[in-house]
Amino acid sequence: MESAFPEEMTVRDLLQAMATGQLTSAQITARCLARIERLNPALCAVIAVDSHAPERARAIDRLRASGNAVGPLAGIPILVKDNIDTLGLPTTAGSEALRRAFPRRDAELVSRLRRAGAIILGKTNLSEWANYRADGAPGGWSPVGGQTRNPYVLDRTPRGSSSGSAVAAAAGLAPVTIGTETSGSIISPAATNAVVGFKPSHGRVGGTGFVPVSPWQDTAGPITRNVSDAAALFAVIAVPRRAVRLEPGLPPGARIGVWSGIRTEGSHPEVDRVLAEATAKLRDLGATTVEVDVPVPAQDGALPFEFKEAINAYLDSAGGEHPRDLAELIAFHRGDPAERVPDIGLARFEQAQLSDTVRSPREYRAERERITGEARRSINGVFDRHRLDAIMAPSNGRAHEILDPGDHPWVHSYSPPAIGGFPSITVPAGYADAELPLGVSFIGRRNHDEELLGLAYTFEQATRARKQPRYLPTLPV
């Protein structure tokens, strides 16, 4: 299938093409909207498009043509995950309960994107409530958006919760997208759909205007087809802004820890093969690699209380018609037929609702301070002991069939950096069965996001592992 624009064009390429008159923002936007209309019925990656996007694209074109100053993303269409407030569109979090919840203002990061000249094209599908409704929910499913499909093999999971953003990037529904993560929700779907997903250090991207899970871990970040586009988005939404240098080659004396990740028992030969190939490539680039083990802190004890406190505050402030607190939200879900298909229950919601009857808010906050402190000390200890610039680990395992409800072998490495607030980025690195994407993640020191992007860029340019999706209905026998 053809792309909405040449597949290898980066944000920088598109900006150059618009500056020289080869393309206009109106043309790029129209082609993206046409591609969404054609492909989204099969992919279910986009929940809504903004009807004002073409008009805003034409306005950017007029500004550029008249010689007026335009921003660093002027005319670039962007899709954002539908748990991020975008003025003029409902913020549903994938739930029927929020179909008529219209935000009163843009999220902070959306305001930054608009000021940079970006065209907000629409909202992407997600695992409902960012996968915090119940255990066992299908990755990428929501009552509002349906089941998101992996464009590489359509009957395979796209994982979540930022599934729509990852699939939209992979399928070229927009040049770039934005996802959110509490624990793995950027890294896992990005890796599973062969795109780059960047989870910034916690606090580098403004956290206002999200449907929350935990303010201690929630962050937004870019999901794109290449590292340079992720860097271009991050440069706009990050605070403070710092220069990102993307140059081939590692710094002299670079040391990379290699971690096998968190995995179920048994063998994972395809993951191990890809990790070994990535390790060999780093050595070819001049890095010293060191096998390391990263401690995995527990986090579940504080999350239920944090979710209840944060979602109650969000619902109380959101505009439109919707449940006003978690108790009303639970009642809505129990009564709405669409919310009972599939019947995955409300276990996490119910646990959160009872959380403040189990312990006091003071005890939960003390536990969170302890969990975060332990995670930071343990990861910093690994960096310091081995004098590391970054840690590399598997991002994901082989994607299972969406309709297979059984237990599946899994591999990941996202929870330690998520809990500790460290930056991490996944880059395409290979394929299982020649078709199912596998990625490797690089974890950096806190607030060294720009250096991590540079490392990921060097690896990406040296490997160029990503290939375009083929939209196979199932794996060939």
Give the residue numbers annotated as catalytic, written as ranges: 81, 161, 185
Can you give the three-state secondary structure of 210-228, one letter per residue? ECCCCCCCCEEEEEECCHH
Contacts of residue 477, defined as CB under 8 A and 6 or more positions apart, other chains included, come to: none
Pick from 351, 15, 369, 411: nearest CA to 176: 15
Q: Which two tokens stand for residue 237?
A: 């939404």
- DSSP letter string, 303-327: HHHHHHHHHHHHHHH--SSS-SSHH
Give the Cβ contact number of residue 141 at 10 Å.
25
Pick from 9, 59, 16: nearest CA to 32: 9
Q: What are phi and psi of 279, to 5 degrees?
A: -65, -45
* Rounded CA separation 322/125 (Å): 19
Which residue type sits at 218? Answer: D
CA atoms 383, 386, 389, 393: torsion sign: negative
Q: Which two tokens stand for residue 173?
A: 């529904």
| Structure letter (DSSP) for residue 153 | B
* Rounded CA separation 267/322 (Å): 47
- DSSP letter string, 39-106: HHHHH--EEEE-TTHHHHHHHHHHHHHTT----TTTT-EEEEETTB--TTS---TT-GGGTT---SS-
* Rounded CA separation 375/419 (Å): 7
Pick from 296, 242, 265: nearest CA to 454: 242
Angle at 257 between CA 253 and CA 262, to 5 degrees: 165
